[in-house]
């Protein structure tokens, strides 16, 4: 009874930004401006004298252009017709861009632990095969994009209160808004990324430990504390058999059968 009451209270109160368990979440976005490098400095070294680099782009001006990263945390998630609502900018310059995922069959059955990136300057990567270890899809949202995976429209993420919501195909918010002004309240600079510093799971909300920092990881599990911490996707990806698991099972079965035969013969 008490438990039911508490559940009811939780449902009524909810969390300010997201009441239910997440099926898909926003994991990271870059706020590095076009002329800046990660953690400032020059092409050679950042403000601390270290060559801080994104795991995919390396150390480049603009840190790969506008991009954001999502993680699927519910197995067999259908993203077809879903959308991103991205608010960014200050004062009269604040604008919201909506990017809609297409009806492509690629989006119809996303396994838990899948990483989806949306980038303005990186071409579509529609290869996707979790059983073989490819857990990453990139969709190019650009005026010059293909439009096969997501709206062919430019977008902007930055250090100006970027907030991202994920919508389902019926325009219900399934996660968000998440970003600067929600968590953290402020402090995302134009040499930084915004990122979840915790393992992705259905328990994550926009108020989870999202922080600004310079450990950037486009298309890969997030890093923090200078790379000492890395998100663990093992639980999420356990739903998919590891490469070779079927073979190992076959070997184990053969050993068991031969042991049984040996016992009978003895």
Q: Which residues in this chain contact Ca ion in the complex, by CB under 5 A? A: 28, 66, 69, 120, 125, 127, 134, 136, 154, 156, 217, 222
Does residue 215 contact residue 228 with C-beta atoms inside 8 Å?
A: no
Rounded least distance, CB 1 to Ca ion, Å: 43
Which of 23/195 has CB closer to Ca ion?
A: 195
Q: Which of 236, 206, 202 is nearest to 29 (CA)?
A: 206
Least Å distance, CB 174 to Ca ion, is 20
CA separation for the pair 155, 139 (Å, rounded): 13
Cβ 50 to Ca ion, closest distance in Å?
19
Rounded least distance, CB 193 to Ca ion, Å: 8
Which of 174/196 has CB closer to Ca ion?
Answer: 196
Instruction: Name all contacts of 149-153 with Cβ < 8 Å and 24+ positions apart.
Output: 149/101, 149/102, 149/104, 149/106, 149/107, 149/124, 150/99, 150/100, 150/101, 150/102, 150/118, 151/98, 151/99, 151/100, 153/97, 153/99
Query: Looking at beta carbons only, is 33 or 156 nearer to Ca ion?
Result: 156
Closer CB to Ca ion, residue 161 or residue 169?
Answer: 161
Q: 37 vs 194, which CB is nearer to Ca ion?
A: 194
Number of residues written out for the chain: 266
Residue keyed to tokens 């990122």:
195
Q: Nearer Cβ to Ca ion, position 162 or 205?
A: 162
Name the residue number minimizing CB distance to Ca ion. Answer: 217
| Tokens describing residue 31 | 């706020």
CB 66 to Ca ion: min, Å: 4
Place of tokens 């449902």: 11
Minimum CB–partner distance for residue 225 and Ca ion (Å): 15
Query: Is the bond preceding residue 177 a cis peptide, omega within 30 degrees?
Result: yes
Contacts of 188 (CB under 8 A, 6+ apart): 31, 159, 162, 180, 194, 212
């Amino acid at each position: 009874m008490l438990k039911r009451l508490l559940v009811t209270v939780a449902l009524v109160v909810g969390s300010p930004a997201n009441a239910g368990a997440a099926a898909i979440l926003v994991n990271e976005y870059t706020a590095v401006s076009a002329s800046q490098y990660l953690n400032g400095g020059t092409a050679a070294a950042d403000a601390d004298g270290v060559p801080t680099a994104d795991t995919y782009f390396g150390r480049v001006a603009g840190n790969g252009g506008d991009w954001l990263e999502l993680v699927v945390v519910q197995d067999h998630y259908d993203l077809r017709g879903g959308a991103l609502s991205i608010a960014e900018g200050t004062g009269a310059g604040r604008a919201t861009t909506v990017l809609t995922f297409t009806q492509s069959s690629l989006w119809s059955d996303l396994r838990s632990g899948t990483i989806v990136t949306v980038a303005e300057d990186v071409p579509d990567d529609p290869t996707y095969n979790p059983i073989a270890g490819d857990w990453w899809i990139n969709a190019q949202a650009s005026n010059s994009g293909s439009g096969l995976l997501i709206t062919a429209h430019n977008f902007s993420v930055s250090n100006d209160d970027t907030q991202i919501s994920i919508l389902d195909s019926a325009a219900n918010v399934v996660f968000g808004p998440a970003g600067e002004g929600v968590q953290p309240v402020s402090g995302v600079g134009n040499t930084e990324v915004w990122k979840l510093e915790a393992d992705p799971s259905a328990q994550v909300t926009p108020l989870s430990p999202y922080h600004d920092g310079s450990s950037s990881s486009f298309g890969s599990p997030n890093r923090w504390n200078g790379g000492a911490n890395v998100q663990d996707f093992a639980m999420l990806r356990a739903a998919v058999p590891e490469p070779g698991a079927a073979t190992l099972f076959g070997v184990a079965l053969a050993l068991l059968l031969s042991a049984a035969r040996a016992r009978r013969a003895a």
